[in-house]
Chain A
Amino acid sequence: MRARRTRLGLVMALLTFIAATAFAQDLASFEKRTSTRKLANGLTVIISERHDAPVFSYATIVNTGSAQEVPGITGLAHMFEHMAFKGSDRVGTKDWPAEQKALQKVEEAYAAYDKANHVMTGRDDAKVKELEKAWRDAIAEADKYVVDNEFSTIVDRAGGVGMNAFTNADETAYFFSLPSNRFEMWAFLESERFRHPVFRQFYKERDVVFEERRMRTESSPVGRLVEQFLSTAFIAHPYGTGTIGWPSDLHSFSATDATNFFNKYYVPANMVISIVGDVNPNEAWPIIEKYFGRLPNSPLPDTLRTVEPPQNAERIAILREGAQPFYLEGYHRPAVTSPDNATFDVISILMSAGRTSRLYKTLVRDKKIAVQAAGFNGFPGEKYPHLFAFFGVTAQGHSNDEVSAAIAEEVDKLKKEDVPADELQSVKTRVKAGLIRQLDDNSDLALQLAQYQTNFGDWREIFHEVERIDKVTAADVKRVANETFVPSHRTIAKIESTRPTAAPKGGTQ
């Protein structure tokens, strides 16, 4: 399953989703087909009707991401996301009582092996080998009871499409779409995996996750760069650790760690489910109560204590490697719940959206020093104070320094000059139209509703956020730019190519 959906894509989609003006009516029309309930166990469920075709989409968001990890278990939030497709005590097993015992033995064997393997002094290699074999034998025994991928197979057979999930620093999301006659089957399956998930084939899946790390982070120049960027920009907050996790932890954490993590964070009050499509609420609510009401009530986990301290020195990470140049810089900004959030959204659109955006016009179109350039919010998450980041894909024959200087020039303009009224209006107009276009897709809408409900406690904030965007003034933009884009708050990360290529002779310049 996916990790770390690219933040930029998500944020741009989010931005274009937001609408403006006439909220009373819009909200009212939307509310007419949307209902929300909080079950007795604290789980929030949203249903938004759309009866064009006999299909529905859903998204489950768990308000837990890699920011909830501590050293030693980095990567575990994402690992759990993978395990949520392995079934329960009722899905994916040939004989649960026997499998349960076998899995217990796997954990005992792993604990013994892991302990012997990681002793600081006097490691007994022969003993470690023996314990590893015992652990692997226990896995082989437990595997006998597995019905491979039964959860996914049921969904596939029922005609499910788009089955996937993602984990990022803030949240974990699960989603797919089904024909609407499968609603109850869905309610059973979705509640089942959070009622009693079983971490079967955990250690094989850990290898799979490590392959994901190799693919996304280790074998990709930009993946390597982003990992360095985050760990340089954050010195205290867990946003400094990538969602995929560090290799040592991916090689070590156990199914027991995952169980503990699940018990602490996957509590109903920490989850939101939204359903969009051909669903009749009168029929659906009893089914939802019946299946999701089974999830045991449990207290909400403590909130995260660590706050990133103010940055007082500019930081830089340089990767010197064979890949072509790439430039990133980020400035610390407050959380998404900040009153200035709408202004940050406006800045992002102003700088990045479309061919009239400032960075496109300057860096791509006129100076031709980058082939793509943008500034965006929400990196690597948005729930906690995070980064407003700029990136530039440096054009052939040009340097990161040119890109950096041009971005600085544009940032300086934001700080010194008022945004012209027509430019600001164009941003607001596009935001409005973006909402209408986004309403087209059940799956996107389900995700947006659940995300707003999770972040703000009310999906209606989609509309309220819009109210705020519509009120953003040129003075707001200038003030926020001056407060945010301060060199000592900046972290730069770039790839300086050891094999730069010149622009073609006689080609374009």
Chain B
Amino acid sequence: MRSLREIRWQMADGRWQGGGAVRPSAVRHLLLAASLLLLAAGAFGQATSVNDIKTPPLRSFSMPQPKRVQLSNGMVIFLMEDHDLPLVRGTALIRGGSRDVPANKAGLMGIYSQSWRTGGTTTKTGDDLDQFLESRAARVETSGSTASTSVSMDVLKEDFDTVFPIWVDVLRNPAFRQDKIDLAKTQANTAISRRNDEPGGIIGREAAKLGYGADSPYARQSEYATIASITRDDLVAFHNAYVHPNNIIVSFIGDFDSAKIEKKLRDTFGSWAKGPQAPKATQDITPAKPGTYFIAKDDVTQANISFVSPGVTRDNPDYYALQVLNEVFSNGFSGRLMQELRSRRGLTYGVSGGVGANWDYPGLFRAGMATKSSTTLESVDALRGEIAKLTTAPVTPEELSLAKESILNAFVFTRDTRGKALDQQVLLEFYGFPKDYYEKYPSQIEKVTAADVERVGKKYVHPDQLALLVVGNQKDFEKPLSTLGNVTTIDITIPEPGAAPAKPGAGGGAAMAAPAAGNAEGLALANKVADFVGGKAKVDAVQAVKRSGSMKAVTPQGEMEMEMTTVAQYPNSVKVVMNTPMGSITRVISPQAAFMIGPMGTQDIPSSQRDQASSDMKTELLTVIKNIGNPKYTFSAGATEKVGTVDARVVEVNADGATVKWYVDPATGKLLRTVSHAGGPMPGDAVSEYTEWKTFNGLNLPSATIITRNGEKAGEMHVSNVELNPTIDANEFAKPPAQ
């Protein structure tokens, strides 16, 4: 740790010397302090009011600006030396974020940005990277947001040369290993399952959906279905679409020599070819209709209240006047909202609001608070009143000066470190704003007049155009929300795992989507399975099949072994004969009859079991293969999941209304597992694991199957002989005459 020690010495020294050898302001300070001491000792005594205290001018200072370099492939590089601490930090900021993800893949950004790092690179697993980096107290991380993704590094100076190549490797050669995609999905699904637990989470999310429209890329939420549909290919495709030098801004700050690091970056990225340019920011926004919206939450003692309507973009010429307006409205404790609703009326712990501005797409006007259930309507009224005042009540000279001074005096904090100065330049580059934007910021604020503030209040705040959302326990409200007029109730029930994605429409609740149309990938996998079995043509030639073997059933009395023969005649007749220790049992399902013959005689099978059996027949392997191409059979490839050591693709098979999930080895087309949802007397998931396949008369079929119901083993089936197109007796499926 020698270097550490040495550098910390430098750090302390650097701080002393950083501001220059002699600071004229120090002299001023000293004089001032001396005069104050004299004052204190004299007749005036100590200051008894803040107005008695003279404020010396703030010493002038200028924060160094980073060096900007642009490579011929379009990559922009910012370098900022900072020798205070023995650290180097770097970031590759890449255009393209969650707003660029297709709607049916909502949630992709979370999976992508997590597994980008945890999934490792083509040569190193993520776990190996964790071990290597953490033992050096180094970090290389990926993240994703609305407009961008990033790969960042943060290392002790001494480790820079060993960690830099890892940062580059993660940026350029991610492997997106399946196990880490699965891990990210577990986390994403868990987050979905928990999203209605905390009222603060609900109000934030649902108010954004009201403000931008539930389908907008700026507000839409992921669902189990969208998470399930995200594949490794999707992640690779996103990476390929956006990670090109012309979409990247690289920035480095720390204890380095700029010339050296510039050379290193040029050597590393100079030959990287340009790729397609990331698209401009989508403006796909459809604000909700004004009105009152309600979400019921019964386990809270507070109502959360939020008003929302469209805001502005940062390049709006009224932006500065709006900043002053926001300050008047909601600056800390001195703004109108806290003064009135918290300090004077004690209605809330926190209240805030303002006209939001984003860099390249509109922000939202928002005003929100939480209050005890019994003052919900009172608070709605009071908050609405404060909003209306923005368009009616004049801004007092006192308010104007307070707002402007607050912004201007605090401006120094926007650039009081080199890191902040660097971040500002990166941001301006990313959004295409002039690099002196922040230099000019104070003068723009200074220009704002009371008339400007009143004008923009009227222009951008529309009390009659607001959507009001209340989340809470309505039975405890002092009066019903309906006293405000028509109320639209929003159902936030989380669509069940496996269900089709709900149409996330405000006021609509979960509408059932049409059955999955299937996808090309699913069809391709189904064909692969058909090929594995022996080819569709061979399967089509099978009119009937007779299988014999044994079955081991798990019963409450223990395992019971029996011989079993099944005869299936396509499309819809099947007969099963089991020789049990208690005697022979025969079960027949056909269009003509459904019955069972056992030691106790012949019984008809109830219709519910009959439906189940018919559904089983529709989803039977060979039946499904025969129906590839039949529009009533669809195949939809979705998640990837481990079966044993294989990364199996899950294919949702919709077989003329009956459903089954196939777990397919994408490399071979081998069917590893099927899962279906059984009804009848024992409802639940029925899982068949095909543990062994054998070739019988040219067809590759499962010879050993383990069956589990609801997570518990139900039995094992072993097939020893298969006859294709056996001779079928005309009475094979006929019910014997009553005795």
Contacts and interface: CB of A to CB of B under 8 A. Distances in A.
> Are A and B associated in one complex?
yes
Interface of A: 20-22, 25-26, 29-30, 32-33, 49-55, 85, 90-91, 143, 148-149, 152-154, 156-161, 163, 177, 179-182, 184-185, 188-189, 201, 203-212, 214-215, 218-221, 278, 280, 282-283, 286-287, 290-291, 294, 321-324, 354-356, 364-365, 368, 371, 393, 395-396, 422, 425-426, 429-430, 432-434, 436-437, 439-440, 501-509
B15 A33 contact: yes
B497 A90 contact: no
A365 B25 CA distance: 55
Interface of B: 1, 4-5, 8-9, 11-13, 15-16, 18-19, 23, 25-26, 29-30, 32-33, 36-37, 40, 46-50, 53-59, 61, 63, 84-87, 118, 126-127, 130-131, 134-137, 154, 156, 182-183, 185-187, 189-194, 197-200, 224, 227-228, 298-302, 331-334, 338-339, 342-350, 370-372, 402, 405-406, 408-413, 415-419, 494, 497-498, 638-639, 641-642, 650, 652, 661, 675, 677, 685
6 contacts: A90-B48, A152-B332, A219-B199, A283-B26, A324-B194, A501-B494
Contacts of B127: 355, 365
A53 B332 contact: no
Given A54-B412, A153-B402, A429-B135, A506 B498 contact: yes
Nearest to A30: B12
A364 B191 CA distance: 14
A203 B344 CA distance: 10
A506 B33 contact: no
Given A52-B18, A177-B413, A432-B137, A215 B302 contact: yes
A507 B497 contact: yes
A158 B9 contact: no
A425 B301 contact: no
B463 to A, nearest CB: 24
Nearest to A357: B134
A282 B30 CA distance: 8
A163 B36 CA distance: 27
B339 to A, nearest CB: 5
A422 B135 contact: yes
Given A32-B12, A159-B408, A434-B137, A90 B641 contact: no
A262 B8 CA distance: 41
A365 B299 CA distance: 32
A214 B402 contact: no
Given A90-B48, A434-B137, 14 more contacts: A22-B4, A22-B5, A29-B8, A51-B19, A52-B417, A157-B409, A207-B347, A208-B342, A211-B346, A286-B33, A294-B46, A356-B130, A368-B182, A507-B227
A502 B186 contact: no
A321 B299 contact: yes
Given A355-B134, A507-B227, A508-B641, A218 B302 contact: yes
Contacts of A371: 186-187, 190-191
A221 B48 CA distance: 47
A181 B344 contact: no
A154 B5 contact: no
Contacts of B30: 280, 282-283
B348 A211 contact: yes
Interface centre among B8, B300, B419 (most CB of A within 10 A): B8
Given A152-B334, A506-B661, A33 B301 contact: no
A204 B346 contact: yes
A137 to B, nearest CB: 16
A396 B192 CA distance: 9
B2 to A, nearest CB: 8
A50 B330 CA distance: 32
A51 B18 contact: yes
Contact of A393 (B56, B190, B638, B642): B190
Contacts of A160: 410
A492 B641 CA distance: 34
Nearest to A425: B135
A188 B186 contact: no
Contacts of B191: 371
B58 A180 contact: yes
A53 B186 contact: no
A163 B415 CA distance: 18
Contacts of B58: 54, 179-181
A360 B194 CA distance: 20
A180 B25 CA distance: 11
A505 B402 contact: no
A426 B86 contact: no
A282 B192 CA distance: 57
Most chain A CB within a 10 A radius of its CB, from B11, B47, B63? B47
Nearest to A360: B130
Nearest to A182: B55
Contact of A501 (B55, B411, B416, B497): B497
A501 B371 CA distance: 30
Contacts of A286: 33, 36-37
B26 A280 contact: yes
B59 A508 contact: no
Contacts of B494: 501
A208 B347 CA distance: 7
A205 B419 CA distance: 39
A49 B4 CA distance: 21
Given A33-B12, A161-B410, A181-B58, A507 B639 contact: yes
Contacts of B134: 354-356, 426, 430
B156 A163 contact: no
A149 B335 CA distance: 10
Contact of A221 (B19, B63, B197, B409): B197
| The 8 residue pairs across chains A and B that have the minimum distance between CB atoms | A159-B409, A504-B497, A433-B137, A207-B346, A152-B333, A53-B416, A204-B346, A219-B300
Contact of A218 (B63, B301, B411): B301
B19 A506 contact: no
B61 A430 contact: no
A371 B193 CA distance: 12
Given A32-B12, A149-B339, A505-B497, A354 B130 contact: yes
A185 B55 contact: yes
A211 B15 contact: no
Nearest to B498: A505
Contacts of A201: 343-344
A54 to B, nearest CB: 5
Contacts of A395: 186-187, 190
Contacts of A287: 33, 36
A242 B406 CA distance: 36
B312 to A, nearest CB: 24
A153 B26 contact: no
B4 A436 contact: yes
A407 to B, nearest CB: 17
Given A29-B12, A501-B193, A188 B224 contact: no
Contacts of A207: 346-347
B190 A440 contact: no
Given A324-B197, A505-B498, A507-B228, A214 B4 contact: no
A148 B186 contact: no
A436 B5 contact: no
Given A188-B50, A436-B87, A501-B497, A214 B302 contact: yes
Residue of B5, B56, B87 with highest tally of chain A CB at under 10 A: B5
